[in-house]
Each structure stands twice: as structure tokens, then as C-alpha cells.
Amino acid sequence: MLLTDKVAVITGAASPRGLGFATAKLFADQGATVVIIDLDITRSQNAAASLGERHLGLAADVADELQVNAAIEQILGKYGRVDVLVNNAGITQPLRLMDIKRENYDAVLDVSLRGTLLMSQAVIPTMRRQKSGSIVCISSVSAQRGGGIFGGPHYSAAKAGVLGLSRAMARELGPDNVRVNAITPGLIQTDITAGKLTDEMRQNILSGIPLNRLGDAQDIARAALFLGCDLSSYCTGITLDVNGGMLIH
């Protein structure tokens, strides 16, 4: 059991087929007490309950500082610590460059980038006091290759910002024994992609993936587990590519 006695907070984890819930389930299986934070309280509570009695579901908009701080205060009041934070919450919009409006830009960057900052700021004081902690930030291969299949340029910008923020936090928090790392998933089969890939699109994508398959949520969950637990105790500031070889650099 790699996360025995650890408290893990995972944002955007209420969707049954999402990366966040797969991570929550794997963390719970590895002994962690899991807190799921998502926008809808009923979905969050149902997702947490499906993991077992000791887990917690909360509602918060990760882009709202007051809601984020209130959620973390509730977690600390109940469990007294936070050992792992997975900044998974994010949204995407399939817009081309000249179609991006201010409201589109603000919406995508608020959740992925501002949300990562606010959630991290909320747990850092506790992790510093503990002299231990792991923050895992979910970015995207689109941040590295300059565009994705379903996300617009503003999505790539937000996820590139997550990479820069993760590295800067890793540098600053290292002396406190708080590690910060990022994962860059490739094309993963979730509700976001369900029904949107034609056979022709799928074949074109697979032709550029050496492992010749699309990823699934478990692939990302396992990477998050590695970065969240002590197996990666000497890793901070890294970007862990999980894309089947779609981007080799």
C-alpha cells in the first residue's frame, strides 16, 4: 500500500470516466483517504461514497479563492493534514485562434491555471508545517506540441502555464520537502473524447503513436500515483509524459 495514512485531495474528480476519478479510485485502493472536489456537491459525494466510507466529497469552484479556502479548511478540520494534491480540474473548448473571445480565454485559464495556483496556495502552508507533501499538476501534451485535437490555442496556453507554474513552485518549495511535478497526458479516452473520434481520425492519430493505442484514465492515474507517493521521493520539477510516444523529445 503506497499511500497508507495519507490524505489526498483531487480536483475535478466526480466524473466516473474521468482522469480524476480513476486517480481517486487508485489512490483509495493504495490506502489513501481521498477528498474529491468538484463543482456539484451531489456528484462529488456520490463519487466519494463509491470509494468507501472514509472518503469525502466536497463542492468548490477551483477558480474561486473563497470556495477553495473553505474546502481546504473543512478538510483540515476533519483530517488534520493534506499529503497529496492532484490539480486535475480543467476545461477545454474546440476553438480556432481567431474565434477565441475574452470570455473563452478567461474560462479556460481560470480553471486550469488559476485553479492550480489557488488550490496549491491553499495546501502549501499545511505541507510546509508537515515538512512533506506532493503536488501533482495535470497539464497536456498540447502544451508541448502547440495544439491538441479537441482543445483550442487558449487550452494549450493554459496547460503550458501549468508547466511553468509547477516548475516554479517546485523550485520554491523544495527546501520545505514539498515536491511539485506535472503530467502531460496525450489523447486519453474519457467523456471529453467519447463519440467525437471518427474511424479516420482515430487511424490518423494512431499512426503517430508508437505504442499504437489511445490512452485510458488508468494510464494517468498510475503516473499520478507514482508522483504522489514516496517512489518518486527524489523527483521534483519534472514533466512526466504519458502519451504512448506521441511526443518524443
> How far is residue 195's CA from residue 2's CA, in Å, rounded to a whole number?
35
pLDDT beyond 90 at 202: no
Are residues 123 and 72 in contact, defined by beta-carbon separation less than 8 angstroms?
Answer: yes
Let me know if residue 207 belongs to a domain: yes
Domain that holds residue 231: 7-242
Q: Which pLDDT score, from 0 to 100, does residue 192 have?
A: 63
Q: Give the number of other CB atoms < 10 A from CB of residue 59.
A: 18
Q: What is the pLDDT of residues 208-242, one digit of tens each?
A: 999 999 999 999 999 999 999 999 999 999 999 99
β strands within the chain, DSSP E: 7-11, 33-38, 56-59, 84-87, 133-138, 178-185, 188-189, 215-216, 239-242
Mean pLDDT for the stretch of residues 134-155: 93
Q: What is the mean pLDDT of the chain?
A: 96
HSE (CB half, 13 Å, CA atoms) of 51?
A: 30
* Complete DSSP assignment for 180-220: EEEEEE-SEESTTTTTT--HHHHHHHHTT-TT-S-EEHHHH
Average pLDDT on 7-29 reads 97
Flag whether 110 is in a domain.
yes
Query: pTM of the full predicted structure?
Result: 0.97
pLDDT of residue 193: 64
Count how many domains the chain has.
Answer: 1
Q: How far apart are CA 11 and CA 137, in angstroms?
A: 10
No. of H helices and E strands in the chain? 9, 9
Q: Which is nearest to 112 in space by CA: 42, 174, 164, 34?
A: 164
- From residue 126, how far is each of 83, 98, 163, 210, 229 by CA, in Å? 9, 43, 23, 42, 17
pLDDT score of 44: 98
- Evaluate whether residue 83 is within a structural domain: yes
Tell me the C-alpha to C-alpha distance, in Å, between residue 48 and each of 33, 42, 88, 110, 223.
10, 10, 16, 25, 21
pLDDT of residue 190: 80
Rounded to whole angstroms, what are the CA distances from 103 to 48, 140, 143, 243?
Answer: 32, 22, 20, 30
What CATH number is associated with residue 107? Answer: 3.40.50.720
Whether residue 117 has pLDDT greater than 80: yes
* Nearby residues of 226 by Cβ (< 8 Å), 6 or more positions away: 232, 240
pLDDT of 248 above 70: yes
In a domain, residue 2? The reply is no
The answer to whether residue 11 sits within a structural domain is: yes
* Mean per-residue pLDDT, 184-207: 82
Give the separation between CA 45 and CA 36, rounded to whole angstroms. Answer: 8
User: Does 1 map to a domain?
Assistant: no
Please check whether residue 138 lies inside any domain of the structure. yes
Which positions are annotated as active-site residues? 155
pLDDT of residue 189: 86
Helix (H) or strand (E) holding 120: helix 115-130
Longest dimension (CA), the chain: 53
Q: Specify if 62 maps to a domain.
A: yes
